[in-house]
Amino acid sequence: MCEIITVKTKEELKEVFNFISKVFYDDAKEHNEFYYTMSERLEEMKK
At 4-35, the pLDDT tens digits run 989 999 999 999 989 988 999 999 999 999 98
Look at residue 4 and tell me if it is in a domain.
Answer: no
> Does pTM top 0.85 for this prediction?
no
9 secondary structure, DSSP code: S
* DSSP code of residue 32: T
pLDDT recorded at residue 36: 85
Amino acid in position 34: F
Domain membership of residue 24 (yes or no) is yes
Judge contact between 15 and 36, C-beta under 8 A: no
Burial class (CB within 10 angstroms; exposed 0-12, middle 13-18, buried 19+) of 42:
exposed
Q: 27 is in which domain, residue-wise?
A: 10-46
Domain tally for the chain? 1
Residue 3 lies in a domain: no
